Amino acid sequence: MTRDVSLALVQMQCSEDKQQNVCKAVERIVAAAEKGAQIICLQELFTSPYPCQEEDHRVFDWAESIPGPTTDVLGKVAAKYEVVIVASLFERRAPGLYHNTAAVLDADGSIAGIYRKMHIPDDPLYYEKFYFTPGDLGFKVIETRYAKLGVGVCWDQWFPEAARLFALGGAEILLYPTAIGWIDEEKEEFGKNQYNAWQTSMRGHAIANGLWVAAPNRVGTEGRIEFWGGSFFVAPTGEVIEQGSHSDEQTLIQTCSLDMLDLVRTHWPFLRDRRIDAYGGLLQRHLSP
C-alpha cells in the first residue's frame, strides 16, 4: 500500500476581531476537510493581526492558554472531521511568560503536541523579542494519525540545523506557519529577491533532508507590512508543487506521497554520508580562524 496524505494550507487575512478570525479559520478547515484534506495547517498567529509591529503592552491581551478557548474549538472540529489541525497561537504560559506556539490537534481532537518557536526575531516591524520567550521544547517530532510532523514557526524556517533535527527525529513533513511580508519602502527594490530567498531556503531543507516541506502565509496589508502570501508545497526532490497567490485568500490542497522519502533518500543519500564525527564545531557560536 502506498502512503499518501492530503495536506491543506490556509492562507487568509486577519481582522481585529478574534472571534471572526477563528470562525473564518474553522470555515476553511471544514471546507478543506470536505475536499479530503487530512492535515490542515493555519498561518502564524491566525487569531489576530500580526501583533509585533510595535512594542505595546496591550497586545498581550491577545494571548491565551494552551489548552484554551481556541484549541477547544479546533479540537471539536478536528474530532468531527477526523483531521489533524496545526494552529499557531500567542500562548500565555504563566504571568509574564509568553510564547509563539504551534498546537497540533490530532484527528481525535486531542492535543498531539505543541512546539514553541525557538528562534525569535527582532527586526524592524517584527519586534518579537518584546513579546515571546524562546521555546524550551526543542525540535521534537509530533506524531499524528496521518503523518509524523516537524512543526517550526516562521523565523525557524531559515535555520538548516532545525530542519535537520526534525528530519533526524523522524519527521515526514515539515510545516512552517508563517507571517512574512514586504515593508512598504522596501518592496520595489528588494521584494522579489526577499520572496525567492524565503522559498529557496525551504526548498533546500526539502532536498537536504528528503522530506515534504510546506508553509502557509497570511495575505493583506497590516500597518506598513504587505504580507506576501505565496504559500507553497515542496516535494522531497525540491520541486515546488504548488504556490499560492500573493494577494488572495486561498486554501491550497495537495497529496503528499510519504513513500517518496525512502526513494529520494536512497538516491540522494545525504543522511547516509553525514560526518557526525566532524560536526562538533556546530555547537560553537564562532570558530576562530
CA distance 282 to 124: 28
For the segment 143-157, the average pLDDT, to the nearest whole number, is 98
Residue 223 CA to residue 208 CA, distance in Å, equals 37
As a whole number, mean pLDDT of residues 126-134 equals: 98
Confidence of residue 148 (pLDDT cuts 50, 70, 90): very high
Dig out the grid coordinates for 83 from the structure.
Answer: 483531521
Confidence of residue 1 (pLDDT cuts 50, 70, 90): low
**pLDDT given at position 2:** 79
Contact in structure between 251 and 45 (CB atoms under 8 Å):
no
Confidence of residue 286 (pLDDT cuts 50, 70, 90): very high
Angle at 128 between CA 123 and CA 129, to 5 degrees: 95
Q: Is the pLDDT of residue 77 over 70?
A: yes
Would you please indicate which residues are annotated as catalytic (active-site) residues? 44, 117, 154
Residue 289 lies in a domain: no
Indicate the average pLDDT of the chain: 97
> Of 47, 36, 44, which is closest to residue 101 (Cα–Cα)?
44
Residue 219 lies in a domain: yes
- Is residue 180 in some structural domain? yes
Segment 58-75, tens digit of pLDDT: 999 999 999 999 999 999
Per-residue pLDDT tens digits for 187-227: 999 999 999 999 999 999 999 999 999 999 999 999 999 99
- Work out how many domains the chain is built from and give that number: 1
Identify the band that residue 288 occupies on the pLDDT scale cut at 50, 70 and 90. confident
| Residues 50 and 222: beta-carbon distance below 8 Å | yes
Q: Is residue 288 part of a domain?
A: no
Note whether residue 88 is domain-resident. Answer: yes
226-261 pLDDT, tens digit each: 999 999 999 999 999 999 999 999 999 999 999 999
Q: Evaluate if residue 50 carries a pLDDT over 80.
A: yes
Round to whole Å and give the CA distance between 57 and 246.
31
Which residues are 233's β-sheet partners? 214, 242
> Does 137 map to a domain?
yes
Residue 289 has pLDDT above 90, yes or no: no
- Per-residue pLDDT reduced to its tens digit, 9-36: 999 999 999 999 999 999 999 999 999 9
CATH number where 28 lies? 3.60.110.10
Range of the domain at 154: 4-283
pTM metric for this prediction: 0.96
